[in-house]
């Protein structure tokens, strides 16, 4: 069975494996038994599942469900049973559909020709009334006479009326000759009486049907005790379906004390007769150790027996066993074989599993197009899991042409079913404006729907919405609340964000030790940003004893994942020999990696290394190149460093005015050093102007000798 939730997530989008889902709960077991009714009555499994799911959800309503009742008699009718032919005709007649009336007359005639008196009487009434046939009083009299000769009192009365001239052209007489009006409920009462009559004669099939009627309250009040009684009578005659149903009653504790051991006993009796539903339930019982010693090999054995009979549910379970190596040796190829067999029968969970194996390349060459085909089959059956994954494939352009609108369509179908991962994914679409108009409020609403179901990715996203005031009023306390919920659910990104807010005292009390703990949790899950933050805490001794070796370790882990900040910090440690042996070549290499990602800090540090000739030949022109790149990206340090080069005329013509302009930009960005140097520069320019006339000496407080390019580590 699908885990529904969720389950494919990536921020809601990560595939789960088709792990074993063998829960032998009452509803699952019940359906396994209900499909056996199909074998008796010529249902198909899909229709049976749908019919009984509706019954289980809404309760049985005779008026609403009378469309399904004819199926109960069709097989027996087709095998020539006259009573079943009459019952089938009666039910079709009372549905009052034009096509059904023709069929009803056909079944009445078949039964009447076998001397079924009720059917003969019914045909007589129809001919007398001209309903569904050309009116023919002579034909009506013939059928009434045949029924009357068998003692049918209503037929005798009608013959008397006809012979006395009280019928015929008299419209009122014709109306009075119609079949007595019945409700669907009274028709079901007749069905139940028919079951009981034959059940009391010892017919196991009728005992089973009577038990089902009591079990579900079909045509009678629901009564588990009566259901058990009739199931037991059928079971004790060796009827495999009766044995399965009796096992089910023991399993669910309906009509008797719950007893898994007794359930297993009756399942085994039916399973040994080859009954597939019993084999599945026996497999479930061994899988979970209910009433028997837990035994995965025995479970797999029974699943295999049912699967080899073509039972799609068992094929799916056996595929799961091979996929996970549970009770059998793991074998992706065999897993795919069984998944595909079930999928080709329309088994929706198997269609998803087959799609997943092609998507992941497990047991088969990776094939996104084939994966999309199977996910689509599941999605078109209304399966939310398949809809969500198909949406992801359209989003990524895997196996299908990338189409954000189509992705949004499938995400929405799953989201409308309450599927949390799809709600999160559709929220992402609204957040980014992919396939839909950007709408932060709609994104926040969808994130909340998924977050309320406990989806960590959405809790994290909702925290981000409150932090940034997108789609909701900015509220740092709410941001902390949702980040904490996601963090406690194990979301690494949320753990990192929560750590940062606690470190900085945003929306909560500042606590460096707690921040350190959350950074560590995220870092140990491989979150690069958290690894960098953890390294920074160790390097600066905040919330922990300063430890350059630990700082270097965490910086390196993050840097190797491509985190630009960590690459810069790692370069700084190599440059300065902190936590590692000094190595200018390594420093330069890591700083270049960070600079290539646009890190302005790394750009400034590269300029600094060329300015001072650290690890490279001193080169003011090269230094200016890196400082200018940082400045052009709006870096305050880049502005200030480039200002120093213009102030002294290093690598460029000396230009105090340009230096002042650049310092002003840095000061506007909040750079305190730039503010101080700008003030000194203003005063030095005024004094220099005076010195042309007076022999004054520049005061120390205006000394700009320390105005030099600085590193930005």
Instruction: Kindly report, residue by residue over 278-331, the tens digit of the pLDDT.
Output: 999 999 999 999 999 999 999 999 999 999 999 999 999 999 999 999 999 999
When the pLDDT of each residue in the chain is averaged and rounded to a whole number, the result is 83
Q: Name which of 33, 16, 35, 20 is nearest 286 in CA terms.
A: 20
Provide the number of structural domains found in the chain.
3
| Residue 590 covered by a domain | yes
- Model confidence at 21, in pLDDT bands (50, 70, 90)? very low
* CATH number reported for the structural domain that contains residue 103 in this entry: 1.25.40.10
Instruction: Tell me the residue ranges of DSSP E strands in 364-487.
Output: none
| Residue 198 covered by a domain | no
Per-residue model confidence as pLDDT tens digits over 251-276:
999 999 999 999 999 999 999 999 99
| Residue 310 covered by a domain | no
Examine the domain organization and report whether 110 and 168 are in the same domain.
yes
By residue range, what is the domain housing residue 586? Answer: 526-597
228, burial (CB in 10 Å: exposed 0-12, middle 13-18, buried 19+): buried
Examine the domain organization and report whether 167 and 76 are in the same domain.
yes
Residues sharing a CB contact under 8 Å with residue 517, sequence separation 6 or more, in sequence order:
499
Question: Which stretch of 6-10, 287-291, 546-550 has the lowest confidence by average pLDDT?
Answer: 6-10
Each as own residue / partner, the long-range contacts of residues 191-196 (CB below 8 Å, 24 or more positions apart, any chain) are 191/69, 191/72, 191/73, 191/87, 191/91, 191/219, 192/219, 192/220, 194/83, 194/87
Examine the domain organization and report whether 82 and 177 are in the same domain.
yes
Examine the domain organization and report whether 77 and 161 are in the same domain.
yes
Examine the domain organization and report whether 149 and 83 are in the same domain.
yes
Residue given tokens 């840095």 in the structure block: 666
Examine the domain organization and report whether 656 and 694 are in the same domain.
yes
Examine the domain organization and report whether 79 and 162 are in the same domain.
yes
| Residue 344 covered by a domain | no
Of 161, 181, 201, the position where a domain reaches its end is 181
Phi-psi region of 605 (alpha: psi -120 to 50; beta: other; left: phi over 0): alpha
Residues sharing a CB contact under 8 Å with residue 208, sequence separation 6 or more, in sequence order:
40, 230, 231, 234, 239, 241, 242, 245
Q: Write the DSSP symbol of residue 491.
A: -
Give the pLDDT mean for 405-419. Answer: 97
* DSSP annotation string for 620-683: HHHHHHHHHHHHHTT-HHHHHHHHHHHHHTSSS---HHHHHHHHHHHHHTT-HHHHHHHHHHHH
pTM to 2 decimals? 0.68
C-alpha distance across the termini of the chain, in Å: 54
Examine the domain organization and report whether 645 and 591 are in the same domain.
no
Contact 669, 634 (CB under 8 A): yes
Examine the domain organization and report whether 635 and 593 are in the same domain.
no
Residue 686 tokens, joined: 């005024």
| Residue 686 covered by a domain | yes
| Residue 633 covered by a domain | yes
Q: Name which of 594, 590, 591, 534 is nearest 564 in CA terms.
A: 594
Examine the domain organization and report whether 572 and 664 are in the same domain.
no
Of 155, 181, 207, the position where a domain reaches its end is 181
Examine the domain organization and report whether 567 and 651 are in the same domain.
no
Contact 366, 332 (CB under 8 A): no
Question: Residue 433 above 60 pLDDT?
Answer: yes
Examine the domain organization and report whether 150 and 88 are in the same domain.
yes
| Residue 51 covered by a domain | no
Residue 651 tokens, joined: 């690598």
Distance CA 120, CA 105 (A): 11
Residue 324 tokens, joined: 């996970």
Of 181, 201, 227, the position where a domain reaches its end is 181
Residues sharing a CB contact under 8 Å with residue 509, sequence separation 6 or more, in sequence order:
502
Contact 421, 12 (CB under 8 A): yes
| Residue 163 covered by a domain | yes
């Amino acid at each position: 069975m699908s885990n529904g939730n969720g389950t494919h997530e990536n921020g809601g989008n990560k595939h789960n494996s088709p792990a074993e889902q063998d829960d032998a709960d009452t509803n699952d077991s019940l359906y396994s038994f209900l499909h056996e009714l199909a074998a008796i009555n010529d249902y198909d499994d899909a229709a049976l599942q749908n019919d009984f799911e509706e019954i289980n959800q809404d309760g049985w309503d005779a008026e609403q469900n009378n469309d399904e009742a004819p199926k109960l008699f069709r097989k027996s009718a087709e095998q020539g049973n006259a009573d079943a032919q009459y019952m089938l005709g009666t039910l079709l007649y009372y549905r009052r559909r034009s096509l059904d009336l023709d069929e009803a007359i056909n079944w009445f005639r078949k039964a009447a020709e076998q001397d079924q008196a009720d059917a003969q009487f019914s045909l007589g009434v129809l001919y007398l009334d001209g309903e569904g046939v050309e009116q023919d009083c002579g034909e009506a009299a013939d059928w009434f006479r045949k029924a009357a000769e068998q003692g049918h009192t209503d037929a005798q009365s009608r013959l008397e009326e006809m012979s006395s001239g009280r019928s015929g052209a008299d419209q009122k007489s014709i109306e009075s000759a119609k079949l007595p009006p019945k409700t669907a409920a009274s028709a079901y009462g007749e069905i139940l009486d028919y079951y009981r009559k034959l059940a009391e004669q010892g017919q196991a099939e009728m005992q089973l049907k009577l038990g089902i009627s009591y079990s579900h309250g079909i045509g009678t009040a629901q009564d588990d005790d009566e259901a058990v009684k009739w199931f037991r009578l059928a079971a004790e005659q060796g009827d495999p379906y009766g044995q399965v149903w009796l096992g089910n009653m023991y399993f669910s504790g309906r009509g008797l004390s719950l007893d898994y051991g007794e359930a297993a006993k009756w399942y085994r009796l039916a399973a040994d007769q080859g009954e597939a539903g019993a084999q599945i339930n026996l497999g479930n019982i061994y899988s979970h150790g209910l009433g028997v010693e837990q035994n995965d090999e025995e479970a797999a054995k029974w699943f295999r027996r049912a699967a080899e009979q073509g039972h799609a549910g068992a094929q799916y379970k056996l595929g799961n066993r091979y996929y996970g190596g549970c009770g059998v040796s793991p074998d992706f190829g065999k897993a795919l074989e069984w998944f595909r067999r079930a999928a080709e029968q329309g088994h929706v969970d198997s269609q998803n599993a087959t799609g997943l194996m092609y998507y992941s390349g497990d047991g088969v060459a990776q094939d996104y197009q084939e994966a999309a085909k199977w996910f689509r089959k599941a999605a078109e059956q209304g399966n939310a899991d398949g809809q969500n994954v198909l949406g992801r494939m359209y989003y990524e352009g895997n196996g299908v042409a990338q189409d954000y609108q189509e992705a949004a369509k499938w995400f929405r179908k799953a989201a409308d079913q309450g599927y949390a991962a799809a709600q999160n994914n559709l929220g992402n679409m609204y957040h980014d404006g992919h396939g839909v108009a950007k709408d932060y409020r709609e994104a926040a609403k969808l994130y909340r729907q998924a977050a309320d179901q406990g989806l960590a990715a959405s809790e994290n996203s909702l925290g981000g919405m409150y932090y940034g005031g997108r789609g909701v009023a900015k509220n740092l306390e709410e941001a902390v609340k949702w980040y904490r919920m996601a963090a406690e659910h194990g979301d690494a990104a949320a753990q990192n964000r929560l750590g940062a807010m606690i470190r900085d005292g945003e929306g909560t009390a500042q606590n460096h030790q707690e921040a350190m703990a959350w950074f560590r949790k995220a870092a140990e899950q491989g979150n690069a940003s958290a690894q960098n933050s953890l390294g920074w805490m160790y390097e600066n001794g905040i919330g922990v004893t300063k430890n350059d070796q630990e700082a270097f370790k965490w910086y390196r882990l993050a840097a190797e994942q491509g985190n630009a900040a960590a690459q810069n910090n790692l370069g700084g440690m190599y440059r300065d020999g902190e936590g590692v042996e000094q190595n200018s070549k390594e420093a330069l290499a890591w700083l270049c990696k960070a600079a290539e990602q646009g890190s302005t800090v790394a750009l400034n540090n590269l300029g600094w290394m060329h300015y001072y000739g650290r690890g490279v030949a001193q080169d003011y022109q090269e230094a200016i190149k890196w400082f200018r790149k940082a400045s052009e990206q709006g870096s305050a340090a880049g502005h200030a460093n480039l200002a120093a080069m213009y102030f002294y005329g290093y690598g460029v013509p000396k230009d105090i005015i340009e230096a002042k302009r650049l310092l002003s930009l840095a000061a506007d960005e909040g750079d305190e050093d730039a503010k101080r140097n700008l003030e000194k520069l203003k005063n030095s320019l005024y004094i220099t102007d005076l010195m042309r006339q007076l022999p004054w000496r520049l005061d120390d407080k205006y000394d700009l000798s320390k105005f030099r390019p600085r590193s930005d580590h």
